[in-house]
Structure 1
Amino acid sequence: MLKKIIVLVLCVAPIMAFAQNKFGHVNSQDVYNAMPEKATVEKTLQDLATNYENEINKMRDEYNKRVKEFVDKKDSMPQSILQARQSEIVEMEQRISTLNQTAQNDLQKKQQELVQPIVDKIKKAINDVGLENGFIYIFDLQVPAILYHSDQSVDVLPLVKKKLNIK
């Protein structure tokens, strides 16, 4: 019995020594760019950005109008009205600045909210491709940590696209 186990181990060991590890690579940005959801995300973000931009432009127009009016009439205004108008102008500057910052934050949050489900879907597809095709590793070429990949590395982009039903 012991001889059979030893013979079996000696027969299997060379086979396992010659077994190759299967490595693959994919550029996740290429997958994302091929996703049909990308267009919807970009349209939604562009619409939101346009809404904020329009509102900020309205505020800037009103601000410029007030500044021009202030400059034109400052010599004829009493000191108390002059100070009140200056305060209004400073307050308008602060509101514009605040809205600008809010717009940037909202756009970042919305982008994260819209992109994360797509990223999760891509990760799941890559994991599924790895499991189904026996890959040991699949490297993302978008991440700059990969300094070299040989021709023996398999590009799994077509497999991931197929998994996601993308042409």
Structure 2
Amino acid sequence: MKQKLMAFMVVMTVFSTTLVAQTPLTKIGYTNVDFIIGKLPEAKKMQNELEITKAQLDKAIGETYKEFQEKYEAYQKNGANMTDVIRADKEKELQSLQTRVQEMQNNAQTSLQNKQQQLLEPILTKVNDAIQAVGKENGFLYILNMDGGAGTTPIILFAASEEHNATNLILKKLGVDPDKLEEEAAAPAPAAPAKPATAPKK
């Protein structure tokens, strides 16, 4: 019985070794989608548009708040001399302006989020198409995202080498030269202009 069991173990070992040898190694790549998006011209254009929109919204809110502030100061200064009817009317106007400022702030936040989503959607689609193409062309079974998102633990915690880092392949597919990015990152920052020497006081 013992000999039969040993013979069975030998056969299974040989079978398992042969199966592993015939099975192609799984090629799993990884990248960082946020990093890739940040290097695209479309992302920089999106950021500029968002900043312009935010500045416009802030200006409108600021003008309304300034109006509230001026009318509130006038009310504080002259309220004691107003009739009850005029005072009540001014208080109602102030309350209305205060509510309007709060609504404008809330609407501005929602408007910015919607605009960001609208501008980001085609960029995400473009990046996803590039990832799909790189995966198929280079024989990856999976391409994982290293960054799980803000406030989350990264999906990949350790990589023994850069061999399966698909980031540069994806950037090239998107028309971005990774070598140029490295040169820009390594280039020293421009020196700040020297301040003119101050003449000694006499």
Matched residues, number: 157
1-side partners of 2:89 and 2:115: how far apart? 38
Which of residues 60, 65, 68 is equivalent to 2:70? 65
Hey, what does 1:99 align to over in structure 2?
A: 104
Hey, what does 2:123 align to over in structure 1?
A: 118
1-side partners of 2:162 and 2:70: how far apart? 66
Gap regions ≥5 residues in structure 2: 1-17, 149-153, 178-202
Distance 1:153 1:136, change over 3 A: farther
Hey, what does 1:22 align to over in structure 2?
A: 27
Q: Which has the higher helix share?
A: 1
Q: Secondary structure at the match of 1:138?
A: strand
Compute the displacement of 1:92 (Å). 0.2
TM-score (ref. length: structure 2)? 0.73
Q: Which amino acid letter does the alignment assign opposite residue 39 of structure 1?
A: K
More relative contact order, 1 or 2 (CA 8 Å, 6+ apart): 1
Q: What's the C-alpha RMSD, in Å, of the aligned pairs?
A: 1.8
Compute the displacement of 1:126 (Å). 0.6
Map Cα deviations across residues 90-109 of structure 1 (whole Å, 9 max, x no partner). 00000111111111101000
Hey, what does 1:89 align to over in structure 2?
A: 94
Spell out the pairing of 1:26-65 with structure 2 (5 A cutoff): 26-65=31-70
Identity of paired residues, percent?
26
Compute the displacement of 1:51 (Å). 0.4
**Rg larger for:** 2
1-side partners of 2:89 and 2:162: how far apart? 74
Compute the displacement of 1:23 (Å). 1.1
Compute the displacement of 1:152 (Å). 6.7
Gap regions ≥5 residues in structure 1: 1-11
TM-score (ref. length: structure 1)? 0.88
Map Cα deviations across residues 110-151 of structure 1 (whole Å, 9 max, x no partner). 000001110111011011100110001111111123333332
